[in-house]
Amino acid sequence: MTSGLAADLGYAHSSANPLHRLVRWGAGTRGGGWVFSHTLRRLDNVVVRLSRGRHSAPGLLAGVAVLEVTTTGRKSGQRRTSHLIATPYAGTLALLGTNFGQASTPAWVLNLESDPRATVSYRGVAREVVARPTTPAEADEVFALAGRFYPGYVSYRSRVGTKRRIRAFVLEPA
Supply the Cα-derived Rg of the chain in whole angstroms: 15
User: What whole-number distance in Å separates Cα of residue 20 and Cα of residue 1?
Assistant: 30
Q: What is the pLDDT of residue 1?
A: 40
Q: In what order do the strands lie in the sheet with 92-96?
A: 79-84, 67-72, 117-122, 125-133, 168-173, 92-96, 87-89
Maximum Cα–Cα distance for the chain, whole Å? 43
Domains plus CATH for the chain? Answer: 5-173 (2.30.110.10)
Q: What is the pLDDT of residue 151?
A: 83
Q: What is the pLDDT of residue 57?
A: 81
User: What whole-number distance in Å separates Cα of residue 90 and Cα of residue 172?
Assistant: 11
Decide: 59 and 66 in contact? Cβ < 8 Å: yes
Going from the C-alpha of 172 to that of each of 26, 73, 104, 128, 152, the distances in angstroms are 32, 20, 26, 9, 25
From first to last of its 174 residues, the chain has per-residue pLDDT tens of: 456 899 899 898 878 888 888 888 888 788 888 888 788 778 888 887 888 877 788 778 888 888 999 999 999 999 999 989 999 999 899 999 998 888 889 999 999 999 999 999 998 899 999 999 999 999 999 999 999 888 888 888 888 877 888 999 999 998
